[in-house]
Structure 1
Amino acid sequence: MSLAEQIKPVSYLKANAAELLRSIGEGGEPVIITQNGEAKAVLQDVASYEQTRQTMALLKLMALGAQDVAAGRTVPARAAIERLRQRRDPAA
Protein backbone atom coordinates (compact mmCIF):
# COMPACT_ATOMS: atom_id res chain seq x y z
CA MET A 1 0.00 0.00 0.00
CA SER A 2 1.44 3.36 -0.99
CA LEU A 3 1.66 6.24 1.45
CA ALA A 4 -1.20 8.05 -0.31
CA GLU A 5 -3.41 4.99 0.21
CA GLN A 6 -2.53 4.95 3.91
CA ILE A 7 -4.05 8.40 4.54
CA LYS A 8 -7.83 8.51 4.88
CA PRO A 9 -10.24 11.18 6.09
CA VAL A 10 -12.39 10.45 9.12
CA SER A 11 -15.44 10.38 6.83
CA TYR A 12 -13.90 7.41 4.98
CA LEU A 13 -13.37 5.64 8.30
CA LYS A 14 -17.00 6.22 9.26
CA ALA A 15 -18.32 4.92 5.93
CA ASN A 16 -15.89 2.02 5.47
CA ALA A 17 -14.84 0.89 8.95
CA ALA A 18 -15.26 -2.86 8.34
CA GLU A 19 -13.35 -2.76 5.04
CA LEU A 20 -10.60 -0.63 6.56
CA LEU A 21 -10.20 -2.99 9.54
CA ARG A 22 -10.01 -5.98 7.21
CA SER A 23 -7.38 -4.26 5.09
CA ILE A 24 -5.30 -3.33 8.13
CA GLY A 25 -5.59 -6.85 9.50
CA GLU A 26 -4.45 -8.43 6.25
CA GLY A 27 -1.70 -6.00 5.28
CA GLY A 28 -0.46 -4.91 8.67
CA GLU A 29 0.12 -1.37 7.42
CA PRO A 30 -1.22 1.41 9.65
CA VAL A 31 -3.63 3.99 8.27
CA ILE A 32 -3.42 7.68 9.12
CA ILE A 33 -6.82 9.25 9.82
CA THR A 34 -7.21 12.93 9.03
CA GLN A 35 -9.73 15.47 10.22
CA ASN A 36 -10.06 18.82 8.48
CA GLY A 37 -6.94 17.97 6.47
CA GLU A 38 -4.74 17.34 9.53
CA ALA A 39 -3.43 13.98 10.71
CA LYS A 40 -5.28 13.14 13.93
CA ALA A 41 -4.90 9.40 14.55
CA VAL A 42 -3.21 6.22 13.43
CA LEU A 43 -5.20 3.03 13.04
CA GLN A 44 -3.21 -0.21 13.18
CA ASP A 45 -3.80 -3.88 13.95
CA VAL A 46 -3.26 -5.17 17.47
CA ALA A 47 -0.25 -7.36 16.60
CA SER A 48 1.61 -4.41 15.07
CA TYR A 49 0.67 -2.22 18.04
CA GLU A 50 2.02 -4.78 20.51
CA GLN A 51 5.22 -5.19 18.49
CA THR A 52 5.69 -1.42 18.44
CA ARG A 53 5.23 -1.23 22.22
CA GLN A 54 7.76 -4.03 22.77
CA THR A 55 10.24 -2.33 20.46
CA MET A 56 9.83 0.99 22.27
CA ALA A 57 10.34 -0.71 25.66
CA LEU A 58 13.53 -2.35 24.42
CA LEU A 59 14.82 0.93 22.99
CA LYS A 60 14.10 2.65 26.31
CA LEU A 61 16.08 -0.01 28.19
CA MET A 62 18.96 0.38 25.74
CA ALA A 63 18.93 4.16 26.18
CA LEU A 64 18.96 3.81 29.97
CA GLY A 65 21.88 1.40 29.69
CA ALA A 66 23.78 3.80 27.47
CA GLN A 67 23.20 6.58 30.02
CA ASP A 68 24.56 4.33 32.78
CA VAL A 69 27.67 3.57 30.74
CA ALA A 70 28.20 7.26 29.96
CA ALA A 71 27.85 8.13 33.64
CA GLY A 72 30.29 5.42 34.68
CA ARG A 73 27.68 3.38 36.54
CA THR A 74 29.10 0.02 35.51
CA VAL A 75 30.90 -2.88 37.18
CA PRO A 76 33.00 -5.66 35.67
CA ALA A 77 31.00 -8.77 34.77
CA ARG A 78 32.89 -10.93 37.25
CA ALA A 79 32.03 -8.56 40.10
CA ALA A 80 28.36 -8.47 39.09
CA ILE A 81 28.19 -12.27 38.95
CA GLU A 82 29.83 -12.53 42.36
CA ARG A 83 27.38 -10.02 43.79
CA LEU A 84 24.46 -12.08 42.43
CA ARG A 85 25.91 -15.27 43.92
CA GLN A 86 26.22 -13.53 47.30
CA ARG A 87 22.57 -12.50 47.18
CA ARG A 88 21.48 -16.02 46.30
CA ASP A 89 23.63 -17.72 48.94
CA PRO A 90 24.78 -15.28 51.65
CA ALA A 91 26.73 -18.06 53.46
CA ALA A 92 29.10 -18.51 50.50
Structure 2
Amino acid sequence: MRSAQVKPISYLKSHAASIASDIADSGEPLLITQNGEARLVVMDVHAYERQQETLALLKLLALGQRDIDAGRVRDAEDVFADLAKEDAA
Protein backbone atom coordinates (compact mmCIF):
# COMPACT_ATOMS: atom_id res chain seq x y z
CA MET A 1 0.00 0.00 0.00
CA ARG A 2 1.52 3.29 -1.08
CA SER A 3 1.27 5.77 1.77
CA ALA A 4 -1.38 4.21 3.96
CA GLN A 5 -1.38 4.98 7.62
CA VAL A 6 -1.16 1.96 9.90
CA LYS A 7 -3.13 1.76 13.12
CA PRO A 8 -4.12 -1.05 15.50
CA ILE A 9 -7.72 -2.21 15.65
CA SER A 10 -8.11 -0.64 19.10
CA TYR A 11 -7.51 2.76 17.48
CA LEU A 12 -10.28 2.07 14.97
CA LYS A 13 -12.67 1.16 17.77
CA SER A 14 -12.06 4.33 19.73
CA HIS A 15 -11.61 6.84 16.89
CA ALA A 16 -14.06 5.73 14.19
CA ALA A 17 -15.61 9.16 13.60
CA SER A 18 -12.29 10.99 13.29
CA ILE A 19 -10.90 8.22 11.08
CA ALA A 20 -13.86 8.58 8.73
CA SER A 21 -13.33 12.33 8.58
CA ASP A 22 -9.57 12.05 8.03
CA ILE A 23 -9.95 9.48 5.27
CA ALA A 24 -12.64 11.54 3.55
CA ASP A 25 -10.39 14.61 3.65
CA SER A 26 -7.13 12.95 2.62
CA GLY A 27 -8.39 10.18 0.35
CA GLU A 28 -5.66 7.96 1.79
CA PRO A 29 -6.55 4.49 3.06
CA LEU A 30 -5.93 3.32 6.61
CA LEU A 31 -4.41 -0.10 7.26
CA ILE A 32 -5.75 -1.73 10.43
CA THR A 33 -3.68 -4.33 12.23
CA GLN A 34 -4.71 -6.97 14.73
CA ASN A 35 -2.08 -8.67 16.84
CA GLY A 36 0.57 -7.01 14.69
CA GLU A 37 -0.79 -8.40 11.40
CA ALA A 38 -2.59 -6.49 8.66
CA ARG A 39 -6.32 -7.28 8.80
CA LEU A 40 -8.35 -4.49 7.20
CA VAL A 41 -8.10 -1.54 4.89
CA VAL A 42 -10.45 1.36 5.51
CA MET A 43 -10.90 3.67 2.56
CA ASP A 44 -13.13 6.43 1.23
CA VAL A 45 -16.09 5.19 -0.81
CA HIS A 46 -15.09 7.33 -3.81
CA ALA A 47 -11.57 5.91 -3.76
CA TYR A 48 -13.06 2.42 -3.53
CA GLU A 49 -15.33 3.07 -6.52
CA ARG A 50 -12.40 4.41 -8.57
CA GLN A 51 -10.39 1.33 -7.66
CA GLN A 52 -13.23 -0.96 -8.74
CA GLU A 53 -13.54 0.89 -12.06
CA THR A 54 -9.81 0.55 -12.62
CA LEU A 55 -9.94 -3.18 -11.87
CA ALA A 56 -12.85 -3.60 -14.30
CA LEU A 57 -10.88 -1.86 -17.06
CA LEU A 58 -7.81 -3.99 -16.35
CA LYS A 59 -9.97 -7.11 -16.57
CA LEU A 60 -11.30 -6.00 -19.96
CA LEU A 61 -7.76 -5.41 -21.17
CA ALA A 62 -6.69 -8.85 -19.95
CA LEU A 63 -9.65 -10.47 -21.71
CA GLY A 64 -8.78 -8.61 -24.89
CA GLN A 65 -5.18 -9.74 -24.68
CA ARG A 66 -6.36 -13.32 -24.18
CA ASP A 67 -8.43 -13.04 -27.38
CA ILE A 68 -5.44 -11.64 -29.26
CA ASP A 69 -3.20 -14.44 -27.97
CA ALA A 70 -5.79 -17.02 -29.06
CA GLY A 71 -6.06 -15.49 -32.52
CA ARG A 72 -9.64 -14.33 -32.05
CA VAL A 73 -9.16 -11.06 -33.93
CA ARG A 74 -10.60 -9.34 -37.00
CA ASP A 75 -9.21 -6.63 -39.23
CA ALA A 76 -10.64 -3.22 -38.42
CA GLU A 77 -11.62 -2.78 -42.07
CA ASP A 78 -13.83 -5.88 -41.88
CA VAL A 79 -15.48 -4.68 -38.69
CA PHE A 80 -16.22 -1.24 -40.14
CA ALA A 81 -17.54 -2.81 -43.35
CA ASP A 82 -19.93 -4.99 -41.33
CA LEU A 83 -21.08 -1.96 -39.33
CA ALA A 84 -21.70 -0.01 -42.53
CA LYS A 85 -23.81 -2.91 -43.89
CA GLU A 86 -25.88 -2.93 -40.69
CA ASP A 87 -26.47 0.83 -40.93
CA ALA A 88 -27.55 0.51 -44.55
CA ALA A 89 -30.08 -2.21 -43.74
Question: After TM superposition, is the score higher than 0.5?
Answer: yes
Paired with 2:31 and 2:41, the residues of 1 have a C-alpha distance of 5
Q: Please name the residue that 1:70 is paired with.
A: 69
For residue 56 of structure 1, what is the aligned residue in structure 2? 55
Unaligned runs of 5+ in 2: none
The 3-state SS of whatever aligns with 2:22 is helix
- 1:13 maps to 12
Compute the RMSD of aligned alpha carbons.
Answer: 1.7
Task: Report SS of the residue matched to 1:72.
Answer: coil
Q: Give, in angstroms, the shift of residue 36 of structure 1.
A: 1.2
Deviation at 1:84, TM superposition (A): 2.9
Identify the residue that residue 79 of structure 1 maps to in structure 2. Answer: 78
* Runs (4+) off by over 4 Å: none
Unaligned runs of 5+ in 1: none
1:72 maps to amino acid: G
TM-score (norm 1): 0.85
Separation in structure 1 between the aligned mates of residue 49 and residue 22 of structure 2, nearest angstrom: 18
Q: Which amino acid aligns with 1:40?
A: R
State the secondary structure of the residue aligned to 2:73. Answer: coil
CA distance in 1, matches of 2:72, 2:32: 44
The residue aligned with 1:43 is: 42
1:37 shift after superposition: 1.1
